[in-house]
Structures are given as C-alpha cells and as structure tokens.
Amino acid sequence: MAPLGIGLIGTGYMGKCHALAWNAVKTVFGDVERPRLVHLAEANDDLAHARAVEFGFEKATADWRALVADPEVDVVSVTTPNQFHAEMAIAALEAGKHVWCEKPMAPAYADAERMLKAAKAANKVAILGYNYIQNPIIRHIKTLISEGAIGVVNHIRVEMDEDFMADPDTFFYWKSELSAGYGALDDFAVHPLSLLWYLFGHAEAVIADMAKPYADRPLKEGGRRPVENHDAANVLMRLGGGISAVLMANRAAWGRKGRIALQLYGSSGSITFDQERMNEFELYQADRRTTEQGFRKILAAPAHRPYDRFIPAPGHGLGFNDLKIIECRELIRAISGEPSSIVTFEDGLRIEKSVHAMAQSYHQRRWIEIA
Ligand SMILES: NC(=O)c1ccc[n+]([C@@H]2O[C@H](COP(=O)([O-])OP(=O)(O)OC[C@H]3O[C@@H](n4cnc5c(N)ncnc54)[C@H](O)[C@@H]3O)[C@@H](O)[C@H]2O)c1
C-alpha cells in the first residue's frame, strides 16, 4: 500500500494524541508504510502554522475545508469539539477520504445517522476514537472471558470518573453546552459502553438518572452562565445473555483522574481492571484451593500483544497515548482490507443509540428497550 496522506483537524488534547500516533505508528509496528503528514487545520492561521511545525505536517490552514479538498490527503483525523464532528466527517467522506473521528459521533442522533450514511455512500473506512478497547490488557481480558476463565459472566459494574469539572469555579467552556451533548453520558459513558460492547455486546435495555452538581459556572469574561448539561449519570443496564450491569459516570469526582473501573463477575471467578492502573488487572478463580483463593494481580507483559511492539520487558507499562498508536495501526489495517479491531461508525451509532435511550429514560423515568 502506498503511504497514506494524513490530514488533521484540531490540535488540542486529542489532536496532539492523533499526531503522536501518526508519527509513531511506523516506528512501533514496522510492518506499515510511514504515513505522510500532509495537512493540518486549526481555528486560526497562527495556531495552525505553529502546530504544523511542532507536529511535523507539511501544510497548515485555518480553513478545514481546504484540508478536506486536498487531493494529497487520504485520511482525515477529526479531533474538534463534538458539535463539529458531523459536518467535518461528512465533508471528508464526501471528498473520498477515510475518517478517524473522535468520540462521540455527534450530539444529535440524526447527525450521527447522517455520518454513517455518508460512510456507507463513500465506501470508505470510518472509525471512532474509542482507544480504551485497544489496551492489550483489555484484549487479554476478552480472551480470558471467551476461554471461560471466570465462567459465565452474569453481573458487571463499570465506573468512569474524572475531576476536571469538580471545581465549581472552573470556567464555563464548550463541554457544558447542550450543543456538545448530554454531558457525562456522551462525554464519558460512551467509553465504558465501547468496552462493554467489545467484551460482551451492546446494551439491550437501560434506565438512567442524571445529576448536575453545579447549576452555573463563571465566565472568563466575567459573570456566570448556567450549566446546560449533566456532569454525572447513573445507569442500570441489561446486556445480552441476561447480564445485568451498572454504569456510573462523573466528570466532577474529586480525586479521580482517569478512572474507568470494570468489575466482571462470573459463575467461577471475577476480573477487575481500572484504567488509572492500565498496566494490570486482577483475576479471581474459584477453582483454586480455598487456602490460596484470592485475587491475583497480573502485570502487562510482552505476551499481552501488541505490548511487545512497544517494549520487550514485562511490567514496564504502556501509556494512554500508546493506545492511540494501536488504534492507528488498526485503522491502517482496516484501510488495507485486513481484519481489525476498531469501532466503526456502525457500532458507534449503536453506542450513541444507547446514550440517547439513557437520556430518554431519565426524562421519562422508565426503562427503555433498545432495538
Ligand atoms: N478518545 C478519548 O479518550 C478522548 C479524550 C478526550 C477528548 N476526546 C474527544 O476529542 C474531541 C476533542 O476534544 P479535546 O479535549 O481534544 O478538545 P480541545 O478543546 O483540547 O481541542 C479541540 C481543538 O479543536 C480546535 N478547533 C475548534 N474549531 C475548529 C475548526 N473550525 N477548525 C479547526 N480546528 C478547530 C480548537 O482550536 C482546539 O485546538 C471531542 O470530541 C472529545 O469528546 C476523546
């Protein structure tokens, strides 16, 4: 395959993460062509040019449409705030580009549907940034579950918490706007949903509650603005196979920095994992002698593929940005027509359907079945 020409829209938290991944994917995996970093777009010219130099892109623009129209660009990374995803991803697909769009697809379900429609019409690879499924530890947990290491899983608890909205004096910014989505549900809950989908399948029924810890926030320019969405959510869910699940998400949980804590309970054992300690998991197997029963902590090691592509030594650990490099490799695999482990727009839409069902359930105060 010829080297892929890359376009990157947005250079904030996720934009830099995508840029690191595009820069590193050849070095880490070896068996791919080194991508060509062609075109970068930001909100203004100065920032675009500065970031293009830092990230190693050839061209810079303040007009993302010029990037999308660039014939040298084959893949577009969309890393802008949620409300821009639909317009940018659809334009890129209509221009014949593959798309790697950050989660969630779009605040409005109809826009997410349009994104899937555009991907199908273009017949291009369109995936979402659900990097947590790429953790070699999560992949191994999937293998253990399929091998029956903890029997038949019947109950799951998952919590996703951070504290970047915990301070009531944090300035109002786009994440508190209703145009960006429901808040904890589409900003956070989608990640645990991607993990549950990867390990077990999509939610079949949900009932949710949402909470708004702070009614308003200060504005940088002075005054205050009402918070338009909910920073916390609690959800009961039913998955296939009769699995009951609890999902809790909170962007205002002091002390939590990157918690995605999974507890999986099966008929013959349990598994626990927390993204804050992403290089380990705990396994409890009930077939051990009672004198030695207890959770065993297992550290990430080269045998948990593709950890071996990064480091030959066990226990040294991968980081968040490495998950994006693995996701990037999977995207290239998909573009080459090889089997890959990615969240396509099709599965992403189903995740978003679950999120909208949760919001609907909160407003109607009842269980919602998801078709
Ligand atoms: N996968 C993950 O783990 C993860 C983590 C954080 C954020 N995200 C997602 O990534 C997306 C971006 O979040 P972020 O935290 O990086 O935001 P951010 O605010 O750090 O970065 C957004 C960038 O987009 C730029 N931008 C805005 N409008 C633009 C335009 N018209 N043209 C070009 N650039 C423009 C901004 O200037 C900014 O640099 C969101 O959808 C968010 O949900 C995903």
Confidence of residue 351 (pLDDT cuts 50, 70, 90): very high
Q: Give the total number of structural domains in the chain.
A: 2
Q: Distance between CA 347 and CA 11 in Å, rounded?
A: 26
Range of 153's domain? 135-316+342-369
SS3 371: coil
The answer to whether residue 207 is domain-embedded is yes
According to the model, what pLDDT value does residue 2 have? 86
| pLDDT at residue 236 greater than cutoff 90 | yes
| pLDDT at residue 73 greater than cutoff 80 | yes
The answer to whether residue 157 is domain-embedded is yes
What is the pLDDT of the chain when averaged over all its residues?
97
Using the mean position of ligand 1's atoms as its centre, give its distance from the Cα of residue 44 in Å: 14
Question: Are 25 and 143 in the same domain?
Answer: no
In tens, the pLDDT along 266-318 reads 999 999 999 999 999 999 999 999 999 999 999 999 999 999 999 999 999 99
Closest CA to 357 of 260, 233, 263, 243: 233
CATH code, 14: 3.40.50.720
- Tell which of 71, 95, 128 closes a domain: 128
Which protein residue has the closest C-alpha to ligand 1 atom 25? 10
Pocket test for ligand 1, best of 8, 9, 14, 83 (most atoms within 8 A of CB): 14
The answer to whether residue 76 is domain-embedded is yes
Question: Are 73 and 94 in the same domain?
Answer: yes
For the stretch 78-107, what's the b/e string if a residue is b when 16 or more beta carbons lie within 10 angstroms of its beta carbon? bbbbbbbbbbbbbbbbebebbbbbbbbbbb
Question: Are 159 and 121 in the same domain?
Answer: no
Using the mean position of ligand 1's atoms as its centre, give its distance from the Cα of residue 16 in Å: 10
Question: Are 224 and 253 in the same domain?
Answer: yes
Using the mean position of ligand 1's atoms as its centre, give its distance from the Cα of residue 129 in Å: 12
Confidence of residue 180 (pLDDT cuts 50, 70, 90): confident
| pLDDT at residue 1 greater than cutoff 80 | no
The answer to whether residue 292 is domain-embedded is yes
The answer to whether residue 278 is domain-embedded is yes
Q: Distance between CA 131 and CA 100 in Å, rounded?
A: 11
Which protein residue has the closest C-alpha to ligand 1 atom 38? 12
Element (DSSP H or E) covering residue 190: helix 190-199
The answer to whether residue 328 is domain-embedded is no
Which protein residue has the closest C-alpha to ligand 1 atom 7? 14
Pocket test for ligand 1, best of 78, 102, 130, 188 (most atoms within 8 A of CB): 102
Please check whether residue 93 is in contact with residue 330, taking contact to mean a CB–CB distance below 8 angstroms.
no
State the pTM of this model.
Answer: 0.96
Please check whether residue 39 is in contact with residue 59, taking contact to mean a CB–CB distance below 8 angstroms.
yes
Q: Distance between CA 330 and CA 341 in Å, rounded?
A: 6
Question: Are 183 and 310 in the same domain?
Answer: yes
List, as one string, the DSSP characters of 313-346.
STTS---HHHHHHHHHHHHHHHHTT-----EEHH
Using the mean position of ligand 1's atoms as its centre, give its distance from the Cα of residue 19 in Å: 13
Pocket of ligand 1 (CB under 6 A): 9-15, 41-43, 64, 79-82, 84, 102-103, 129, 131, 187
Show the beta-strand stretches assigned E in the chain: 5-9, 36-41, 59-61, 75-78, 98-102, 126-129, 153-161, 203-211, 216-218, 224-226, 232-239, 244-250, 259-266, 269-274, 280-285, 296-299, 343-344, 368-369
Using the mean position of ligand 1's atoms as its centre, give its distance from the Cα of residue 84 in Å: 9
Question: Are 124 and 236 in the same domain?
Answer: no
Using the mean position of ligand 1's atoms as its centre, give its distance from the Cα of residue 247 in Å: 25
Give whole-number Cα distances, 15 to 11, 19, 61, 194, 362, in Å.
4, 6, 15, 21, 33
CATH code, 291: 3.30.360.10
The answer to whether residue 267 is domain-embedded is yes
Q: Distance between CA 339 and CA 334 in Å, rounded?
A: 6
Using the mean position of ligand 1's atoms as its centre, give its distance from the Cα of residue 229 in Å: 18
In tens, the pLDDT along 26-59 reads 999 999 999 999 999 999 999 999 999 999 999 9
The answer to whether residue 329 is domain-embedded is no
Residues 6+ apart with CB under 8 A from 97: 7, 68, 73, 74, 75, 76, 124
Closest CA to 79 of 103, 52, 46, 111: 103
Question: Are 65 and 101 in the same domain?
Answer: yes
